[in-house]
Amino acid sequence: MQKSIITTLIATAIFSAAPTFAAAKTNMMVMDAWVRAAPPSAKVQAAFFTVMNHSNKPMVITDVEAQGFERSELHLSSKRDGMMVMEKQQQITIPANAILKFKPGSYHVMFFEPTKIAAPGELVTVSFTLLSGEKVTTKMPVKRDNNKAKMDHSKMDHNKIDHSNMKHN
């Protein structure tokens, strides 16, 4: 009994550490990764994460693949001519010893043609190909959002809010 608990604990430790340290052998470290949950009727999903380049040379991501999706691309959303424009990036360079954040409204990985849209709680295996030929694989959890804390209400002035119309039942 005790043994099985320990085994489970070890397995859990390895499993939970896996996404963060999947790239430990290389100088590329992927952190804080998440795939945005999408409605089952959606046709695409996006992944966001932070890439750290622990080397003294620029690191270039040239390709990306995701299990369960026919096609994946490196994308950049930006604002241009009054529109939000999203474009595929042939490659993305992370400068030496730098961090690049892939985040909503900016760099992200876009997954197309899903076998089935990945649901919250699932893990999506994502592999990056670097210009050096190296491959970095990481597992990204599917989440509805990446908020660590509950919503930040601290900036709201609650005194100004009229609570008189609130229904208390």
Partner 1 sequence: MKKSKVIIAAAIFSLSALGAMVANNMQQPSLPAFTTAYTQPEQITLPEFALGDAQEYTNALFTDKWSLLFFGYASCPDVCPTELYNLNNVAKIMADAGKAMPQVVFISVDPQRDNNDMLTSYAHFYNDDFMGMTGSTSEIDKLVASFGVIYQKTFLANNGKYISVPYSAPIPEDQRESYLINHSSRLYLVNPQGQYVAAFAPPHSANKIAEDLLKL
Per CB under 8 A, 115 contacts partner 1: no
CA–CA distance, 157 with 114 (Å, rounded to integer): 44
The DSSP letter of residue 4 is: H
47 burial class (0-12, 13-18, 19+ CB within 10 angstroms)? buried
The binding track of 41-70 with respect to partner 1, each residue x by CB under 8 A or -, is xxxxxx------------------------
Return the residues of window 140-169 that contact partner 1 according to CB under 8 A. 144-145, 151-153, 155-156, 161-167
Q: Which is nearer to partner 1, 57 or 113 (CB)?
A: 113
* Single-letter code of the amino acid located at 18: A
Q: How far is CA 134 from the centre of its chain?
A: 20
Q: Which is nearer to partner 1, 1 or 166 (CB)?
A: 166
Binder of partner 1 out of 25, 84, 116, 121 (CB under 8 A): 84
CA–CA distance, 12 with 18 (Å, rounded to integer): 10
Q: Which residues of the shown chain bind partner 1 in the complex (CB under 8 A)?
A: 36-46, 75, 77, 79-88, 90, 104-105, 108, 110-112, 144-145, 151-153, 155-156, 161-167
